[in-house]
Amino acid sequence: MADTLTAPPAAPAPPTAVDEAALGPGHPLGETVIEVRNLSKVYRDFWGRKKVRALNALSLDVKRGEVFGLLGPNGSGKTTTLKMLLGLLFPTEGSIRILGKSATDVSKNEKIGYLPEESYLYRFLNAEETLDFYGRLFKMTKAQRRAKTDELLKLVKIEHARKRQLKEYSKGMTRRIGLAQALINDPEIVFLDEPTSGLDPNGRADVKDLILGLKAQGKTVVMCSHLLAEIEDVCDRIAILSGGELKLLGTVDELLRSRGETQIVTPELSPEALAEVQAVLAKHHVIAGVTQPKKTLEDLFLRTVSEAEARPGRTFSAQDLPGEVPPADDDLPGTTSAGIPPESADKV
């Protein structure tokens, strides 16, 4: 077991400048592969009258080799954003650059893979025929298609069903072949919309491993999901949209770090050692790690959306998260002056 103690935070270290150019294009902080500037989308009715503003002045960058999560409640503009990134919708205002090209330049699609929320596949084809069909669209040779089909069916773990028609597939299996289809052209950027929809826990774990594997290859993944725990596990950075506006953007670690307290985790200590730790924590060298406790991504998401509804037009940062300003240590209920809960102090 491990003992966890909570104490007031130390003074923060000064930020360290990062030389992005020195990191190289394969690093998450390297080359920008998706650039969105002041993107807006207004849907209009038959008569051209403004019906709804689905997206309002969205600006963000996505770096090569990172996993980027796009979050938001239903109607927040996530799907609209994805469709404009893919060139399936045209923005009302703003610009998009993907791999240095306009989103409307169809040549960029040769380097993009896309898994929509619902997989629209030909039901009377089997898995082999499906991947062969999509490989032909990318003008792959027969040998390339055969090799890539074998590789991808093994990757998504449906080799045993390669000869079965897709109409006989379960929803989870259909999702797996959809993932394989999105990777048939060995894309540089992969867009995944609810990639684990319909999958069992083992399938979700497989997809998370697949996403991390793509990242290890230097590929960029942009994903939408309502399963926030999975976003938390695989994403480097996240953006939360609400009401068509960007409300929060940052790294997962930065956004989920709980401010106002410091958590120290050690191997299990004897009562004597705990007594000394209480007096002078830094005196002992058995400390395994000092971290700041984190909230869950789900909690962050719900707080951000709630605050966005209460205070429209405001954008939050990691240093100014809703509900993050804690009371002084002396005002914290159930803590000692050292910030340690009384029950922990009693155990010491």
pLDDT digits 0-9 by tens, 77-126: 888 999 999 999 999 999 999 999 998 888 898 999 999 988 788 999 99
Q: Is 171 inside any structural domain?
A: yes
- 134 and 214 fall within a common domain: yes
Q: Is 48 inside any structural domain?
A: no
* pLDDT recorded at residue 221: 95
Average pLDDT, the chain: 79
- 260 and 240 fall within a common domain: no
Three-state SS for 80? helix
Q: Which residue has the tokens 């684990």?
A: 196
Highest mean pLDDT among 28-32, 134-138, 293-297, 318-322: 134-138
- 232 and 276 fall within a common domain: no
- 265 and 318 fall within a common domain: yes
User: Which CATH number does the domain housing residue 109 bear?
Assistant: 3.40.50.300
- 120 and 179 fall within a common domain: yes
Q: Is 125 inside any structural domain?
A: yes
pLDDT confidence tier of residue 66, bands split at 50, 70 and 90: very high
Q: Does the pLDDT value for residue 332 go beyond 90? A: no
* pLDDT recorded at residue 287: 56
pLDDT confidence tier of residue 2, bands split at 50, 70 and 90: low
Q: Is 215 inside any structural domain?
A: yes
Domain total of the chain? 2
Q: Tell me the residue range of the domain where 299 lies.
A: 2-10+253-347
Domain boundary at 251, 286, 309, which?
251
Q: Does the pLDDT value for residue 29 go beyond 80? A: no
Side chain identity at residue 168, one-letter code: E
* pLDDT recorded at residue 288: 53
- 184 and 152 fall within a common domain: yes
Domain boundary at 217, 235, 251, which?
251
Of 23, 68, 40, 37, nearest to 189 (Cα)?
68
Q: Is 170 inside any structural domain?
A: yes
* pLDDT recorded at residue 200: 82
- 268 and 206 fall within a common domain: no
Of 89, 107, 101, 114, nearest to 39 (Cα)?
89
More confident residue, 127 or 262: 127
- 238 and 325 fall within a common domain: no
Q: Does the pLDDT value for residue 308 go beyond 70? A: yes
- 71 and 212 fall within a common domain: yes
- For the CA atoms of 104, 108, 113, 114, the dihedral, rounded to the nearest 10 degrees, stands at 0
Distance, first Cα to last Cα, the chain:
16
Q: Does the pLDDT value for residue 217 go beyond 70? A: yes
Q: Does the pLDDT value for residue 131 go beyond 80? A: yes
pLDDT confidence tier of residue 229, bands split at 50, 70 and 90: confident
Of 197, 180, 246, 192, nearest to 222 (Cα)?
192
Q: Is 155 inside any structural domain?
A: yes
- 205 and 235 fall within a common domain: yes
* pLDDT recorded at residue 143: 95
* pLDDT recorded at residue 286: 53
- 132 and 237 fall within a common domain: yes
Q: Is 119 inside any structural domain?
A: yes
pLDDT confidence tier of residue 26, bands split at 50, 70 and 90: very low
262 half-sphere exposure, CB direction, 13 A CA radius: 11
- 73 and 202 fall within a common domain: yes
* pLDDT recorded at residue 344: 41
Q: Indicate the pTM of the whole model.
A: 0.73
Domain boundary at 184, 217, 251, which?
251
Q: Is 217 inside any structural domain?
A: yes
The Cα–Cα gap between 314 and 199 comes to 36
